[in-house]
């Protein structure tokens, strides 16, 4: 076994869809989103300890307010590592980028632990669906071309594949064919990771692991034909990445978090 394999793996935490608000009492379907994020962070530290990198993958704010992003920055102060943020359909991009820049969370290409992380902006102003602009696809290709031997994790907000949930079929990534044609050119891509769908999802495609993760607040029902939420605890995804390209990942939930979910809502 090589020294690369025996070195401590890079520990990466994905937090997604916290839907924070300027109002400290702000709730989504009855769940206070600050409290649920706090519970998830507590669980991360209890179950896994300190990560080496945090990926915050969209819908960071429900109301797009700078205060919500400042709250996120404050909460992430519980960790001793840097974070990187991308926008979701609920985010106000200018406000997100302003706060992210002030706290060093605006990097879109990260090399760490023998891996490269490429963060894509799939948000479309005023729309729920996602799309990667030509400039985003060019950026992705450029980064992958520069490091052909380095395992890569690509992350974006919107799902680039069918997830079997009918009401979300039209709010994923619209130009997914363009995305996959590009990804298929680069065998070093090991993981494509997203948020948006508020549920765990896992597929394999041409040797690439496709992963989505639970929200740090409410959870959407997997496989539902209409908007539906289920009484599952908020959660996060944890990675341990070896420089060889091997990795492990798991989803954990803040099972001690006490909440009353409004399951009568027809949307959010």
Residue 5 pLDDT exceeds 60: no
DSSP string computed for the chain = --HHHHSPPEEEEEE----B-SSTT-EETTEEHHHHHHHHHHHHHHHT---SEEEEES--BSS--HHHHHHHHHHGGGSSSEEEEE--TTS-HHHHHHHHHHTT---SEEEETTEEEEE-----TT-SSB---HHHHHHHHHHHHH-TTS-EEEE-SS-SS--S-GGGTTSSBTTHHHHHHHHTT-TTEEEEEE-SSSS-EEEEETTEEEEE---SS-EEPTT-SS--EE----EEEEEEE-TTS-EEEEEEE-TT------TT-S--
Beta strand 152-155 pairing with 115-119? parallel
Residue 221 pLDDT exceeds 90: yes
Residue 2 pLDDT exceeds 80: no
Residue 265 pLDDT exceeds 90: no
Question: 69-78: per-residue pLDDT in tens?
Answer: 999 999 999 9
Mean pLDDT, residues 200-227 taken together: 96
Residue 267 pLDDT exceeds 70: no
Q: Which residue has the higher pLDDT, 7 or 238?
A: 238
- 115 within 8 A of 241, measured Cβ to Cβ: yes
Mean pLDDT, residues 207-227 taken together: 96
Which pLDDT value is given to residue 1? Answer: 42
CA distances from 204 to 57, 60, 211 (A): 20, 27, 9
Mean pLDDT, residues 3-18 taken together: 85
Mean pLDDT, residues 90-109 taken together: 97
Mean pLDDT, residues 98-106 taken together: 97
Which pLDDT value is given to residue 230? Answer: 94
Which pLDDT value is given to residue 134? Answer: 98
Residue 160 pLDDT exceeds 60: yes
Mean pLDDT, residues 118-127 taken together: 97
Reported as a pLDDT band with limits 50, 70 and 90, residue 3 is very low
Residue 4 pLDDT exceeds 60: no
Residue 22 pLDDT exceeds 50: yes
In angstroms, the CA 264 to CA 251 distance is: 27
Residue 172 pLDDT exceeds 50: yes
**Average pLDDT in the chain:** 95
Mean pLDDT, residues 47-60 taken together: 98
Please name which of 43, 42, 23 lies closest in space to residue 33, comparing C-alpha atoms.
Answer: 23
Residue 266 pLDDT exceeds 80: no
């Amino acid at each position: 076994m090589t020294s690369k394999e025996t070195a401590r793996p890079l520990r990466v935490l994905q937090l997604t869809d916290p839907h924070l608000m300027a109002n400290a009492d702000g709730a989504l379907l009855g769940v206070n989103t600050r409290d649920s994020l706090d519970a998830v962070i507590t669980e991360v530290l209890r179950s896994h300890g300190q990560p080496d990198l945090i990926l915050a993958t969209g819908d960071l704010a429900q109301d797009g307010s700078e205060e919500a992003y400042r709250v996120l920055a404050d909460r992430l102060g519980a960790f001793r590592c840097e974070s990187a943020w991308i926008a979701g359909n609920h985010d106000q991009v200018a406000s997100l980028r302003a706060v992210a820049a002030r706290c060093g969370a605006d990097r879109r290409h990260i090399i760490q632990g023998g891996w490269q992380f490429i963060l894509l902006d799939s948000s479309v102003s005023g729309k729920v669906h996602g799309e990667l602009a030509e400039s985003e696809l060019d950026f992705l290709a450029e980064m992958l071309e520069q490091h052909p031997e380095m395992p890569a994790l690509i992350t974006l907000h919107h799902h680039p594949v069918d997830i079997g949930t009918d009401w979300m079929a039209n709010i994923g990534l619209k130009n997914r064919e363009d995305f996959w044609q590009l990804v298929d050119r680069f065998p070093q891509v090991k993981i494509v990771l997203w948020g948006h769908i508020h549920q765990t999802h896992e597929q394999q495609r041409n040797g690439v692991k496709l992963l989505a993760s639970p929200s740090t607040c409410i959870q959407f029902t997997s496989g539902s034909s209409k908007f539906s939420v289920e009484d599952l605890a908020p959660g996060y995804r944890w990675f341990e990445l070896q420089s060889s390209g091997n990795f492990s990942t798991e989803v954990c939930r803040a099972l001690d978090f006490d909440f009353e979910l409004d399951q009568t809502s027809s949307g959010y």
